[in-house]
Structure 1
Amino acid sequence: MDIKEIQNLIKFVAKSGASEVKLEMDDIKITIKTGSESDTTIVHQVPSTHIPQAAPLAVQPVATEATPTKASEPAAAEDSKYITIKSPIIGTFYRKPAPDKPLFVEVGQTIAEGDVLCVIEAMKLFNEIESEVSGKIVKVLVDDSSPVEFDQPLFLVDPS
């Protein structure tokens, strides 16, 4: 289990409202406690018989451009008129209710408030994500069967 997975687990537990979660795997034990004055996360890594030594990483500064390019400014202004529909949970994004079924929505399709846009699988539960706005789907921002984070943009909708 890598750091990214542990961070995602901590975020998920914090959002779920659980007060304590314990996870034990072959080489790691994790206890996450929430609801106290300070959130606590304890990670115990059980030593294995062989731990490969990694070479130390050299940190090199990365040069960044101080001013944005002219091409990105019109794109940002153009996207500002759209409403972004974001993921309410962490999970796996699916555009279809089943592999043999058609897509919930396609680019260019007009949607109404309450229409199902996609499903997000979290812990073997499929959660239907409904639109909170009416409009036209401009862009799908996530690939089918991809993991999504909480508050990650999923769709761009033109409300006009």
Structure 2
Amino acid sequence: MTDLKKLKQLVKLMVDNDLVELDIEGESDKVKLKRKIGNDVQFVNAQQAMTQMPAASQMVPAAPASPVSPPAVVAAAEEENLLEIISPMVGSFYTASSPDAKDFISIGDSVTESSVVCIVEAMKVFNEIKAEVKGTVVKRLVENGQAVEFGQPLFLVKPD
């Protein structure tokens, strides 16, 4: 079975090289990754992608992403003892389950640890993100449809 570190490296390779589809088959593993960029769908010859890919021994794990919030927002959050709801993955942030649906939460709403606050789409999989904190939502830090990084703060919550 392919390990998570290897998959993360492959996803980073796809993003860095603007690849839309990557299909790799080894002796014991088969990995096929696809992603859509806007409305443009382009297909990449997997053999060509494999020849351009560095050897596994040359792949260096990416450093953990640092939060992308402006320093002023982070400082204000710390000063006011606000809690952050952070993204557990890289993907596209959405406030609702569909364009016509009501937002999961709004500013001023109370949340509990199990409250779904948004979804993050990663490789065509929509992942519900739970608050994991208890309090009142005071600020949303990202826009609907915006790309988010692992560990990036999404919301600020005033604890109860």
TM-score interval for Structure 1 and Structure 2 normalised by the shorter chain: 0.5 to 0.7
Rounded Cα–Cα distance in structure 1 between residues aligned with 2:129 and 2:158: 18
Determine if contact 1:110/1:135 at 8 Å carries over to the other structure.
yes
Written as runs of structure 1 = structure 2, the 5 A alignment for 1:10-159 is 25=44, 29=49, 31=53, 38=57, 40=59, 78-80=76-78, 81-159=81-159
| Post-superposition CA distance 1:47-99 (Å, at most 9, x none) | xxxxxxxxxxxxxxxxxxxxxxxxx98x7654110011111011110001111
Higher helix share: 2
Pair member with larger Rg: 1
Determine if contact 1:21/1:32 at 8 Å carries over to the other structure.
no
Gaps of 5+ in 2: 1-12, 20-28, 34-42, 61-70
Identity of aligned residues (%): 39
- Count how many residue pairs are aligned between Structure 1 and Structure 2: 115
TM-score by length of 2: 0.59
- CA root-mean-square deviation: 3.4
Higher strand share: 1
Deviation at 1:123, TM superposition (A): 0.7
| Post-superposition CA distance 1:86-116 (Å, at most 9, x none) | 1101111000111111000001111111000
Rounded Cα–Cα distance in structure 1 between residues aligned with 2:17 and 2:89: 14
2:16 match: 6
Gaps of 5+ in 1: 10-18, 42-71
Determine if contact 1:94/1:119 at 8 Å carries over to the other structure.
yes
Q: Secondary structure in 2 aligned to 1:121?
A: strand
Which has the bigger relative contact order, CA under 8 A and spacing at least 6?
2
